[in-house]
Structure 1
Amino acid sequence: MAAWMGLVGRYPALGALLAQVVACMVVAIAVVAALQLGGWRFSPLSVGLVQGAVAAWLVRRMGLSIWWWGLSLAFVPAVLLANGAALPSWLFLLGFVLVLLLNWNSISERVPLYLTGARSTDALATWLERRAPDFRFVDLGCGPAGALLCLARRFPEAQFVGVETAPLSFAIAWLRSLGRSNCRIRYVSLWRTDLADFDVAYCFLSPAPMAALWRKASAELPTGAWLISNSFEVPDIPADETLALHDWRQSRLMLWRMGH
């Protein structure tokens, strides 16, 4: 089971696909049983909605990010609705392109879009309150920058930088940061980001890059700076501090202090 969950963490699309297949099988068995035992018949759309709910529940149990839940819930119902509607073919291409632009990093770096939730943001803010007010914070893969902007508003004397290379995520983050003087969004890979100017480097990536990220952080972050990872460990390097988030996934923030 641990090996399987590790595989899903590296390739979330594989987990979402498996959830769709399993949900289809479960719902098909239930529909056939209801027809044979009770003579009950269901509309295709109602069956699709149930299938989507089962798939979304499975994706949630796998620990995938919230946008995978919505995609899993809506996929089959959307196909059924589209099948009966005169929709232009370009609409499906547009949907594919949007998903691709949001998850560009999952192809090249095996880093899907994970959104930092409210519990993680609150835990980060509580921890950051211990620091001097003018700290420098970088989010390595900030996505649409919801958490980063929340922290920037909460700590106006600090400086925040988000780096992102998924084009649509970057565009959303950049637009949202306009007018926020203490927050900048850069279209640059985390691997090309010099960490020497930061006191805190935060990431919510995947298991795949964590060993390489540790080597980069160890070489570039100044002594006394912190690396914070949401949910994913650095292999064989115990965290100096762990913050439990008390969510349904039992996720946590792991913190490493450099050079001590």
Structure 2
Amino acid sequence: MLIRELNELGRRVPLLLALLLQLVASALVMALVLLAVKALHWRPPLLGAALLQGALAASLGRWLGLSPWWLPINLAFVPALLALNAGDLPRWVPLAGFLGLLLLNWNSLGERVPLYLTGRRGERALSDLLRELPADFAFIDLGSGLGGTLCRLARDYPQARFVGVESAPLSFLMSWLRCLPRRNCRIRYGSLWKAELGDFDLVYCFLSPAPMPRLWEKARTQMRRGARLVSNSFEIPGVPAEQVIPLDDWRASRLLVWRPNR
């Protein structure tokens, strides 16, 4: 019963589960250290205990269904805090770093979407798809992150209209400022689920496996006939892509293309 509830927590609010597992792993390692001191008269090194805590938190997270990208975060969280403390940095530095990461990855709380950045090969493949459209096409990026891809594509296609949707506060602010000089590019703050897709010729996303089934239903309901839905790397379960474009990068990424309403 408890395992099922934790799995559900990880599915709905992964950040809370990750923080809970950090606390659980810390308590377990503290108990092991106390046992070693009392029974063996041996005090493990602090760095060793921190690494053990990270490995335990990461393993628990993977076992309970957290996405793979949480693995390095859970593994490095406490060792990183220890390293920062050893460097005699002001106490506000770790807090500022944590808040910055939280504001950049705010999407992971409700939408289960971390910050993924489209690589240059992905941009080139997107640009090739856009070249097939009329010059005044409309493009939307659902979860536009830091806005780099959107801004560069807007520069290359000045007659087209580009829209980004972003709900992580710091990512939104950075991308909004970045796109200000581009008259054909705008960033909207808000959830991707509130974005209307009917005006766009190409809808692009680089999300995570979790929202893809719901996104497919939204695309089928809202997208106009012939418009394309393009996902970076993540499939729609049970819906084969009409076109798959390998990007040949270190992540083995690919663009998957559908026409929800042919």
TM-score by length of 1: 0.72
SS of 2:94's partner is: helix
Aligned residue for 2:173, secondary structure, equals: helix
What is the CA-CA distance between 1:87 and the residue it aligns to?
A: 2.5
**2:144 corresponds to 1:142:** yes
**Partner residue, 1:84:** 86
- Deviations 1:12-71 (CA, angstroms, capped at 9, x unpaired): 9899x99xx9xxxxxxxxxxxxxxxxxxxxxx8xxx9xx9xxx9xxxxxx9859xx98x7
Find the counterpart in structure 2 of residue 164 from structure 1: 166
- 1:259 maps to 261
Pairwise CA distance, 1:88: 2.5
Task: Specify the code of the residue in structure 1 equivalent to 2:126.
Answer: L
2:180 matched residue in structure 1: 178
Name the SS of the counterpart of 2:210 in structure 1: coil
> For the residues of structure 1 that align with 2:241 and 2:139, how far apart are their CA atoms?
19
* Equivalent residues of 2:81, 2:94 under 8 A apart: no
Matched, 1:93 2:95: yes
Sort the Cα spacing of 1:9 and 1:246 in 2 relative to 1 into closer, same or farther, 3 A.
farther
1 CA distance for matches of 2:171 and 2:249?
A: 25
- Aligned partners of 1:9 and 1:207 also within 8 Å: no
Task: Tell me if structure 1 keeps the 8 A contact 2:140–2:162.
Answer: yes
- Aligned to 1:196, the other structure's residue is in SS state coil
Q: 1:108 aligns with which of 86, 105, 110?
A: 110
Aligned counterparts of 1:213 and 1:239: Cα–Cα separation in 2: 14
* Structure 1 residues 229-248: Cα deviation after superposition (integer angstroms, max 9, x where no partner): 00001111111111111112
Partners of 1:235 and 1:74 in 2: CA distance: 32
Letter in 2 for 1:154: D
Residue 235 of structure 2, aligned match among 233, 239, 259: 233
Counterpart for residue 218 of structure 1: 220
Structure 1: stretches of 5+ with no match in the other structure: 1-7, 22-43, 56-61
Segments of 5+ residues of structure 2 without an aligned counterpart are 1-9, 26-46, 59-66
Residues 135 and 159 of structure 1 are in contact (CA less than 8 Å); yes or no, is this contact kept in structure 2? yes
Q: Is the 2:147–2:164 contact (alpha carbons within 8 Å) kept by the matching residues of 1?
A: yes
- Size of the aligned set, in residue pairs, is 217
CA contact (8 A) 2:84 2:94 kept: no
Indicate if the aligned counterparts of 2:11 and 2:112 stay in contact, CA closer than 8 A: no
In the aligned structure 1, how far is the partner of 2:178 from the partner of 2:88?
35
